[in-house]
Amino acid sequence: MKKGISPVFAAWFVLAGTVVGAAPQTLAAPSQAFKTPAEECLFTGYTQHEDVARFLGSLAAASANLAVRVVGGTREARGYPSQDLYLCVLTESGVRSPEKLDRSRPTILILASQHGNEQSPKEAALGFIRDLAVGELRPWLRRANFLVMPQCNPHGNLSDRRPNEQDLDMNRDHVKLESGGAAAIHRVFRAWMPEATLDMHEKGDDYYRVSLGCVSNINIAPEIQVFSRRVVLDEVRRALAKKNITFGEYVVRDEMGMNTATGAALPSDMLRGRETLLRYSTVEINDGRNSLGIYQTLSFIMECASRHDLPTLRERTSWQAWGLRFWAESVVGRGEEILAMVNRLRKEERERAGTYFEDDVIHLRMDYKRDPSVLQVVRKRFEAPPSQARGILRVDKKAGETVTASDLEPFPYAGRMKVVEETVKNWFPLVSSRLTVPRPLGYVIPSDKAQVVENLLRHGIGVGLFTRDAALSVEAYFVTDIEPSDIDWLPPERIEAEKRKIPVLARKGDFYASCDQPGATLIPLLLEPQSQFGLICYGRFDLVPKKGEFFSVWRVVEDRALPLAAYKNFLR
């Protein structure tokens, strides 16, 4: 869910769903010998990290199809020790490492509960792991490999808070990778290179119980978005309708002229009084969907309705479980098509990146825009009748006695809510490019930008080290005008730069990032000074240039051998 926006506006959903207020659906329990911790306690508590470890341990002992790996860790904070982060590898042959993976079938990565107060994705993911390992979904392992990280933010789950133990919003950390959790996700992604990913979240108490969002950054091949929307979302919508669960594509309300999606702490007076627009989910690449989609991955976010309270945990977990199951069923069913499409797009990208040509452009800045043929949309939402009581008393109260929030039990979902339709006139479903640059062959990074290089390594990007001085002809940006942002996590307010071809000396000890590798689109987005998504947005990388200076990272567009050795090419 989006941060800092009132719940009413937090998420809006477009496609019409079906029935509201139906009885909670529960999945048929496939193997009751292995109840998830939440099923065990009848959903009276949130599953904590120790319970996750115990559950996965006993499941792995019982299933030759499941291997559990430690793929990273959290930090010690506030008396809570550092914790291992787990990856569940579910395959037909019980593979334990990426080298052994059968790549003739698609590999599917599922991430749950990056946001600690969004508990039901984790509960549903644990049930899904069980169903694949010992239950009724085992036959799917003949057609696909599954990777599941069921608990990405243990400290957030413990404290029932959105951020992690460093107070970082993990789902805005996928560019800078400061959190152990986001770094682990990218380590897993780069090691296993899945073709499809799903990042599971909770939104507010919304009419559309299950929502899925597709990739929206236009550097990702348009056919991925089209396939996601027309095939996968449509199949999930139809499957959920049979269960009487309302579905709508994930959309977000934004203040017009503002980008509220970066995670930057925007002052409220910047937002107040602005007209709003409705759009699909963000084009930013610092989330868990576009940041994996940028590798030409069929990547999704799922957002299910939630009141974030225990009495509704069972019900919201069931929405997550059905959404996850039907999404996975669609991806498994379309496995051959997806594998062929993603393999082809990744190969084509590498081929383009290996040779420099002006038409191979990267979109550095983009805007949401209207679709002239669909100027407005109708969406449904709940509306409480004016006379609605606030809840059900759980204790006896006499007339005149004070009633506090803790005396009240919430109404069951949608109990007395009215469903109303609303026409939204500022509908911005499309994305247009505002600035492009040809993809260079690679970038020279000066030796004093160690933080930048460490970040690239965290993304799994191979970096070369100049082993001797080398005279080069490069493209360097001469900055003619700049107004830095005074808010961290945002690009400069204004940056004008001329690209100049100049002779330079790359020094022994400088670094080189070639674009001819996986991440061929990510690398320019991180390193170009005019990228709205780049490392320049974050103060810690110290990349903001001054007017009248050259930007410190140079573009190489001429193909010649460079004196390089792989830098920190260590086994991890």
Residue 64: Cβ within 10 Å count: 11
Stretch that binds Zn ion, among 79-87, 107-115, 123-131, 320-328 (CB under 5 A): 107-115
Q: Residue 213: CB partners within 8 Å, gap ≥ 6? A: 249, 250, 251, 280, 281, 289, 300, 301, 302, 303
Nearer to Zn ion, 156 or 524 (CB): 156
The answer to whether 294 and 342 are in contact (CB under 8 A) is no
Tell the smallest beta-carbon distance from residue 201 to Zn ion (Å).
Answer: 3
3-state secondary structure of 102: coil
Residue 508: Cβ within 10 Å count: 13
- Contact between 115 and Zn ion (CB under 5 A)? yes
In single-letter form, the type of residue at position 348 comes to E
Stretch that binds Zn ion, among 113-121, 246-254, 260-268, 462-470 (CB under 5 A): 113-121
DSSP label of 179: S
Nearer to Zn ion, 107 or 119 (CB): 119
Tell the smallest beta-carbon distance from residue 166 to Zn ion (Å).
Answer: 17
Tell the smallest beta-carbon distance from residue 90 to Zn ion (Å).
Answer: 24
Tell the smallest beta-carbon distance from residue 125 to Zn ion (Å).
Answer: 14
Tell the smallest beta-carbon distance from residue 447 to Zn ion (Å).
Answer: 38
Parallel/antiparallel/unpaired status of strands 430-438 and 361-369: antiparallel
Stretch that binds Zn ion, among 117-125, 467-475, 527-535, 536-544 (CB under 5 A): 117-125
Stretch that binds Zn ion, among 199-207, 425-433, 444-452, 480-488 (CB under 5 A): 199-207
Tokens 């993809």 belong to residue: 439
Nearer to Zn ion, 1 or 251 (CB): 1
Nearer to Zn ion, 3 or 229 (CB): 3
- CA gap 196, 200 in Å, rounded: 13
Phi, psi of 495 (to 5 degrees): -145, 115
Tell the smallest beta-carbon distance from residue 11 to Zn ion (Å).
Answer: 10
Tell the smallest beta-carbon distance from residue 396 to Zn ion (Å).
Answer: 38
Nearer to Zn ion, 118 or 528 (CB): 118
Residue 373: Cβ within 10 Å count: 5
Nearer to Zn ion, 167 or 549 (CB): 167
Nearer to Zn ion, 190 or 201 (CB): 201
- CA gap 171, 405 in Å, rounded: 31
Encode burial over 428-467: b for 16+ CB neighbours within 10 A, e otherwise: bbbbeeeeebbbbbbbbbbeebeebbebbbbbbbbbbbbe
Stretch that binds Zn ion, among 195-203, 222-230, 369-377, 388-396 (CB under 5 A): 195-203
In single-letter form, the type of residue at position 194 comes to P
- CA gap 65, 170 in Å, rounded: 30
Nearer to Zn ion, 255 or 287 (CB): 287
Nearer to Zn ion, 118 or 123 (CB): 118
Tell the smallest beta-carbon distance from residue 199 to Zn ion (Å).
Answer: 8
Give, as ranges, the residues between 1 and 20 that touch Zn ion (CB under 5 A).
1
Q: Which residue is nearest to Zn ion (CB)?
A: 201
- 105: Cα separation from own chain's centroid: 23
∠ Cα 383 163 50 (to 5°): 105
Binding residues with Zn ion: total (CB under 5 A): 4
Tell the smallest beta-carbon distance from residue 170 to Zn ion (Å).
Answer: 9
3-state secondary structure of 424: strand
Nearer to Zn ion, 39 or 202 (CB): 202
- Contact between 201 and Zn ion (CB under 5 A)? yes
Tell the smallest beta-carbon distance from residue 512 to Zn ion (Å).
Answer: 37
- CA gap 313, 473 in Å, rounded: 61
Q: Which residues sit at the interface with Zn ion, rule CB under 5 A?
A: 1, 115, 118, 201
